[in-house]
Amino acid sequence: MLNSKAPEYVLTVVQHTYCGDCIWLKGKITDVYIASGIVRGEDSKNWRMQILSPPWDRTERKQDFPKGFPDVDVPAMKLEVDGRIIFASQQPGLINEVLLKLKPMLVSRHSNAQIQKQLEEVVRTYKEPATQTLCTVT
């Protein structure tokens, strides 16, 4: 029998810790971070969440900003599986939607593979509402 290693799932969120414009997003990030700590069997060992706070000055962000995004605007989010980007977004509304859907998946102890599949569907079908409040600071 092969002893294959389980895939490594990494959710990366990039958000200023000191941005008042995106305060609504910070609570959702916190909720998902806490829910990520719920034991979901062996899958818990292969799920990580990174929260990064880049420099406020856009010219200083480039060196610390994670790969996979077209620019250094925040907020930003990506899901990687074994280093392969599954999705990446800098749309505040989509990031909000992903966080809203992800918390109950973690709390309900879905497997990493189930979470990936469900989040891919959220990203694929997301439509930005005309009234969406967007972060004004990038």
- How do residues 25-81 score in pLDDT, each as one tens digit? 888 999 999 999 999 999 999 999 999 999 888 889 888 899 999 999 889 999 999
C-alpha to C-alpha distance for 45 and 88, rounded to whole angstroms = 23
pTM score: 0.89
Contact 7, 44 (CB under 8 A): no
Going by DSSP bridges, is the β-strand pair 9-14/84-89 parallel, antiparallel, or unpaired?
unpaired
Task: Tell me what pLDDT residue 24 has.
Answer: 79
As a CATH number, domain 9-125 is 3.40.30.10
Average pLDDT over residues 105-118: 97
Q: Using CA atoms of 123, 107, 52, 56 in order, give the dihedral in degrees to the nearest 10.
A: 70
Task: Tell me what pLDDT residue 138 has.
Answer: 45
As a whole number of Å, the end-to-end CA separation of the chain is 50
Tokens (6 digits) for 94 = 């989509």
CA–CA–CA angle 44, 47, 52 (5° rounding): 135
Backbone angles phi, psi at 19, to 5 degrees: -95, 110
Peptide bond into 129 cis (omega under 30): no
Question: How many CB atoms sit inside 10 A of residue 114's CB?
Answer: 13
Alpha helices in 55-125 (DSSP H): 58-61, 92-107, 112-125
Q: Judge whether residue 1 has pLDDT over 60.
A: no
